[in-house]
Structure 1
């Protein structure tokens, strides 16, 4: 967020916690993008603060968290001292979550795959209306194909990115055997290593599709430890994920840090994934 917007977001997070009687004297910014995560102290709460235009996404995330907590999913939970509601303060939607101190050690591929298995099993136990993966692709295509929404994307890259999204989406289709609810964006940044074990966060991206779409967000060796995964489909989904990532970076309204770097890098990663190899880091 822009500095002035971030200050307002911090104020909104403070206000939402204080209204519940939680003591807030210090705030640390844990994550800053189109929405922010704030560690509020000494009450030890994580506040997720998004522009109020994302209120529906915030409410959806809270509902997903509520339902998954009932089936013992490996996910971050809402703070038990809150009432689980999303509050709108000063143009921001605020939800309050349990804060988990991250452990410094990396999550091994086998543990990552096991957490996936447990999470997917829990998702199969809840009944929730969620968009299909191909709906997300359709939204990205609208951004790519409209020069007014992605005005700095060259004609050649626009054609490449649009064709890639359309072709890979068609290959996925709908109604595949084994499709289910997914996390939607379970990349390493959304899997915390905690004393409770690995926990998924950022649940607003929940969608429907093959489990391979989730697996494609993880480091490449994780899918090899997930029994029954279609490795060829994982590779195609990895290309699709990078194409989706690239589409969002070329939006005029995108505010991701280091956006210029990730615009070029995203396209490089798409091409590398289509060739079936890793892009250089």
Structure 2
């Protein structure tokens, strides 16, 4: 967020927690993008603050958390003192979550795969109205096909991204037999290594699709430990996911740190993934 908006978001998180009776002497920004995550002490609570325009997304995330914790999924839970709901304050949607002290730095691939397998099993036990993964692809495609939304994207790379998004999503989306609820973005940044074991966070990306769509967000070594994975489908999903990631980075209003570096690296990752697909890859720019 822009500095002035970030200050307002921090104050909205602090004021919401204080109003709920929590003691807040200090606030640390844990993550800052379109939404921010704050650690409050000494109450030791994690607060997620999003623009109020994303109220529906925040409410959806809270609902997903409620349902998944009810079936024992390996996910971060809501803070009981937060009322289990989204609070609206000063133009922001504020939700309170349990803070988990991190243990180590990375989750080993076998443990990562096991956590994702258990997460998928829990997702099959809940009933939730969630979008299909193709909705997110369509949103990414809208960014790269509209020059006003992505004015700095070179034509050659615009063709690469639009061709990849269209060419790969069409055959994958045609097969629905293996669809189930997914995390949506279970990349390493959304998996905490805690004393309770690995826990997934950022549940607002929950969608429907093949489990390989989730696996494609994890390191490739994780896929090798996931039972029954279709490795060819996971490879196609990996190229698709990098194309979506790159599309977001070329948005005019994207605020990701080191955006220019990720713009270049994202496109390189798309090309590398397409090269691995070999003959039969989708038509795209070269």
Shorter-chain TM-score above 0.5: yes
2:98 corresponds to: 98
Query: Match of 2:149, SS?
Result: coil
1:25 corresponds to: 25
CA–CA separation in structure 2 for the residues paired with 1:106 and 1:161: 31
2:250 corresponds to: 250
Unaligned runs of 5+ in 2: 278-286
Residue by residue, what CA displacement relative to the aligned partner does 1:147-205 show, whole Å, maximum 9, x if unpaired?
A: 01111111111111101000111021145222100000000000000000000000000
Relative to the length of structure 2, the TM-score reads: 0.95
Unaligned runs of 5+ in 1: none
Q: Does 1:14 align with 2:9?
A: no
2:162 corresponds to: 162
CA–CA separation in structure 2 for the residues paired with 1:250 and 1:121: 35
1:182 corresponds to: 182
Matched residue pairs, number?
A: 277
CA–CA separation in structure 2 for the residues paired with 1:101 and 1:174: 42
2:281 corresponds to: none
Query: Match of 1:81, SS?
Result: helix
CA–CA separation in structure 1 for the residues paired with 2:233 and 2:219: 15
2:152 corresponds to: 152
Residue by residue, what CA displacement relative to the aligned partner does 1:86-128 show, whole Å, maximum 9, x if unpaired?
A: 1111111100000000112421111001001100000000000
Query: Match of 2:263, SS?
Result: helix
2:272 corresponds to: 272
Query: Match of 1:242, SS?
Result: helix
CA–CA separation in structure 2 for the residues paired with 1:268 and 1:212: 22
1:174–1:209 Cα contact (<8 Å) kept: no
RMSD of aligned residue pairs (Cα, Å): 1.0
| Matches for 1:64-83 after TM superposition, within 5 Å | 64-83=64-83
